[in-house]
């Protein structure tokens, strides 16, 4: 009977374990020094060797003649541990045996001494799938196990394991295996199995497997079943329901040119052709990352704005797990890309268009030498200058239109001050009042500002400050440029006199975690004086002032 490649090339000893050198070294030393503990937890991505290492470790600690932490493979204990009749190394699948009754049965049997081996080893795979009752039943056993019992808990999702269980285990984090090591092993397998394959395919398998060696061997196995000829890149694309690099470039072209109809059309075509959209998005992420790396390391010019490409890659990387877990990945991907175009590219394109218009006007003025145009232009300039000087004072211009150069310092102080005086009751009241912004979303003058505020979540409130967090850092950067306008609208609608702090959701998590640590360490937050804003002189204001001086000379005074 044919044996799958991932089973055929599964590690059987520590020497054949790939990419987990630090863990292997630690476990071997614990065997040599005879100081291994009664409970371990192995966690990390799928296909990185957690269960394989568990079995190897179980055999090695029972070997009667191990050398340097390695089982001899010849003694009676080794022969028994490798046999199918071995009842002293028990592997339990927590996904299908996750109830209280199963764990109670385990507790009743654990007091029985091993049949032939020195230690009875329980390997509980996907331990995070146990129910709350099952964890509680297991907890007592982990706390006071018999001397002959050792537990190894394996999981891909350690966050779901109760801390009371984790604290009783010696934990090891299995990392994703590097693409180079996966490729190296695939080459060895192809050589042994006499598989003819293009090098580009091996590179793509190593990339698409996302650090999981089992997934990589599974992909290779599937390709050998698909064709008996030399495996080509086209075979790889067809089997894995992905797309070519040309199609990825076309998709990115549509995204960065804000061609929404083309973006939706391409995603719909991929979906109708049965392509795996999650895999395609993973391809896009790796392709974009490679473009950025080549830009910085090799000075390769990018087809797209490097800032836009970096922002898109960062946002996509944040959402890639959600896309994979989504019930409908097509809708999730469509909404993600549309939001990126609307939130980031639309503002960037407007800014570029404004700059182009300004440059064209300046060129037109310089090139046109007719007396009539000069006179008309002078009148227009004088009228514009008069309107500007009448309409706003310099301070008003600064507070509404100009960029604050020390905004980071101001935000830092405000974060400290809002945490120093944080009030839960004030937060609850502010959240209720916050809903009033919904009544202004269609207002012609301030609707867009109300919408920008509603995109945020209220996190902390004090008497004078409100901390808002946004999902994307790009939204924070854009809104900080119009912070004064946002505060004016916020306070006018909610009848407040509060200052705003804007951070991303990721920044907020870090701030919150540090705040908790500081509280535990009895660090008290004290209010700090907020620095005055320093405004950057805009290009438009400089032009207005220069035009006024050109027209009227030294008689012009600016407030």
Write the CATH number for 101: 3.40.50.300
The mean pLDDT value for 417-428 works out to: 90
Q: How many domains does the chain have?
A: 4
Looking at the fold, whether 339 and 322 belong to one and the same domain comes out as yes
With respect to residue 391, please indicate whether it lies within any of the assigned structural domains: no
H/E element, 383: helix 371-391
Residues ≥6 apart with Cβ < 8 Å to 266: 247, 250, 251, 254
Sign of CA dihedral 547, 549, 553, 559: positive
- Radius of gyration of the chain measured on its C-alpha atoms: 32
Write the CATH number for 233: 1.10.8.60
pLDDT value at residue 518: 86
Measure the CA–CA gap between 357 and 362, rounded to whole angstroms. 9
pLDDT at 556 over 70: no
Write the CATH number for 435: 3.30.300
pLDDT value at residue 419: 92
The mean pLDDT value for 289-316 works out to: 83
With respect to residue 184, please indicate whether it lies within any of the assigned structural domains: yes
Looking at the fold, whether 194 and 120 belong to one and the same domain comes out as no
> Which has the minimum average pLDDT: 86-100, 402-416, 473-487?
86-100
With respect to residue 375, please indicate whether it lies within any of the assigned structural domains: no
pLDDT value at residue 548: 53
For residue 185, the number of C-alpha atoms closer than 13 Å in the C-beta half-sphere is 26
Looking at the fold, whether 235 and 249 belong to one and the same domain comes out as no
With respect to residue 57, please indicate whether it lies within any of the assigned structural domains: yes
Looking at the fold, whether 229 and 297 belong to one and the same domain comes out as no
* Claim: this prediction has a pTM higher than 0.85: no
pLDDT value at residue 401: 54
Looking at the fold, whether 154 and 210 belong to one and the same domain comes out as no
Copy the structure tokens of residue 200: 């580009």
Looking at the fold, whether 159 and 108 belong to one and the same domain comes out as yes
With respect to residue 365, please indicate whether it lies within any of the assigned structural domains: no
Looking at the fold, whether 155 and 195 belong to one and the same domain comes out as no
Looking at the fold, whether 208 and 263 belong to one and the same domain comes out as no
How deeply is 553 buried, as exposed, middle or buried, from its count of CB atoms within 10 A (0-12, 13-18, 19+)?
Answer: exposed
Looking at the fold, whether 134 and 92 belong to one and the same domain comes out as yes
Looking at the fold, whether 44 and 148 belong to one and the same domain comes out as yes
> Which has the minimum average pLDDT: 108-112, 153-157, 176-180, 214-218?
108-112
User: Among 125, 144, 173, which residue terminates a domain?
Assistant: 173
pLDDT value at residue 415: 93
Looking at the fold, whether 225 and 325 belong to one and the same domain comes out as no
Q: Which domain holds residue 192?
A: 179-239
Q: pLDDT (tens digit, 9 = 90+) per residue, 477-529?
A: 888 888 888 999 999 998 888 999 999 988 999 999 888 888 888 888 888 99
User: Among 155, 173, 191, which residue terminates a domain?
Assistant: 173
Residues ≥6 apart with Cβ < 8 Å to 518: 525
pLDDT at 471 over 70: yes
Which band of pLDDT confidence, cut at 50, 70 and 90, is reported for residue 76? confident
With respect to residue 353, please indicate whether it lies within any of the assigned structural domains: no
Q: pLDDT (tens digit, 9 = 90+) per residue, 246-280?
A: 888 899 999 988 888 999 999 999 888 888 888 88
The mean pLDDT value for 364-383 works out to: 47
The mean pLDDT value for 215-221 works out to: 90
pLDDT value at residue 54: 92
With respect to residue 549, please indicate whether it lies within any of the assigned structural domains: no
SS3 for 275-331 is CCHHHHHHHHHHHHHHHHHHHHHCCCCCCCCHHHHHHHHHHHHHHHHHHHHCCCHHH
Phi, psi of 356 (to 5 degrees): -65, -45
Q: 221 near 56, Cβ under 8 Å?
A: no
User: Among 207, 239, 271, which residue terminates a domain?
Assistant: 239
Write the CATH number for 338: 1.20.272.10
Looking at the fold, whether 55 and 164 belong to one and the same domain comes out as yes
With respect to residue 397, please indicate whether it lies within any of the assigned structural domains: no
């Amino acid at each position: 009977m044919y044996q799958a490649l991932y089973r055929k090339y599964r590690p059987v000893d520590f020497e054949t374990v790939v990419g987990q050198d630090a863990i292997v070294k630690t476990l071997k030393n614990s065997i040599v020094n005879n100081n291994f503990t009664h409970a371990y937890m192995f966690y990390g991505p799928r296909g990185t060797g957690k269960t394989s290492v568990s079995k190897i470790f179980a055999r090695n600690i029972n070997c009667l003649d191990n050398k340097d932490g390695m089982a001899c493979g010849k003694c009676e204990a080794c022969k028994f541990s490798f046999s199918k009749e071995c009842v002293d190394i028990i592997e339990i699948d927590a996904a299908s045996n996750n109830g209280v009754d199963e764990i109670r049965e385990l507790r009743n049997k654990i007091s029985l001494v091993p049949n032939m081996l020195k230690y009875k080893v329980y390997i509980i795979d996907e331990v995070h799938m146990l129910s709350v009752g099952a964890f509680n039943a297991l907890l007592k056993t982990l706390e006071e196990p018999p001397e002959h019992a050792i537990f190894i808990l394996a999981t891909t999702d350690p966050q779901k394991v109760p801390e009371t269980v984790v604290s009783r285990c010696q934990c090891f984090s299995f990392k994703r295996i590097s693409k180079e090591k996966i490729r190296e092993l695939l080459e060895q397998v192809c050589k042994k199995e006499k598989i003819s394959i293009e090098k580009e395919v091996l590179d793509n398998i190593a990339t698409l497997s996302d650090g999981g060696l089992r997934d990589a061997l599974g992909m290779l196995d599937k390709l050998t079943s698909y064709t008996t000829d030399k495996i080509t890149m086209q075979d790889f694309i067809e089997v894995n329901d992905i797309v070519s690099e040309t199609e990825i470039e076309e998709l990115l072209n549509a995204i960065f040119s804000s061609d929404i109809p083309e973006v939706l059309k391409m995603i719909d075509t991929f979906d109708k052709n049965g392509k795996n959209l999650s895999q395609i998005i993973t391809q896009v992420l790796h392709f974009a990352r490679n473009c950025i790396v080549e830009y910085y390391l090799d000075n390769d010019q990018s087809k797209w704005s490097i800032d836009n490409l970096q922002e898109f890659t960062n946002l996509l990387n944040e959402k890639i797990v959600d896309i994979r877990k989504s019930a409908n990945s097509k809708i999730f991907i469509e909404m993600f890309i549309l939001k990126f175009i609307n939130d980031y590219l639309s503002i960037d394109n407007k800014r570029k268009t404004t700059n182009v218009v300004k440059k064209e006007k300046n060129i037109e003025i310089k090139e046109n030498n007719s007396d009539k145009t000069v006179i008309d232009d002078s009148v227009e300039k004088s009228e514009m200058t008069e309107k500007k000087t009448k309409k706003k004072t310099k301070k008003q211009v600064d507070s509404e239109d100009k960029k604050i150069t020390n905004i980071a310092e101001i935000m830092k102080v405000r974060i400290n001050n809002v945490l120093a005086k944080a009030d839960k009751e004030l937060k609850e009241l502010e959240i209720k009042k916050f809903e009033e912004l919904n009544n202004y979303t269609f207002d012609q003058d301030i609707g867009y500002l109300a919408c920008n505020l509603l995109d945020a979540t209220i996190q902390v409130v004090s008497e004078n400050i409100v901390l808002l967090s946004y999902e994307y850092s790009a939204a924070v950067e854009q809104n900080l440029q119009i912070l004064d306008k946002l505060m004016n609208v916020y306070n006018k609608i909610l009848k407040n006199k509060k200052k705003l702090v804007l951070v991303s959701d990721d920044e907020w998590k870090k701030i919150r975690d540090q705040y908790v640590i500081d509280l535990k360490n009895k660090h008290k937050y004290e209010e700090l004086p907020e620095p005055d804003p320093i405004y950057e002189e805009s290009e438009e204001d400089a032009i207005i002032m220069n035009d006024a001086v050109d027209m009227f000379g030294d008689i012009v005074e600016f407030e």
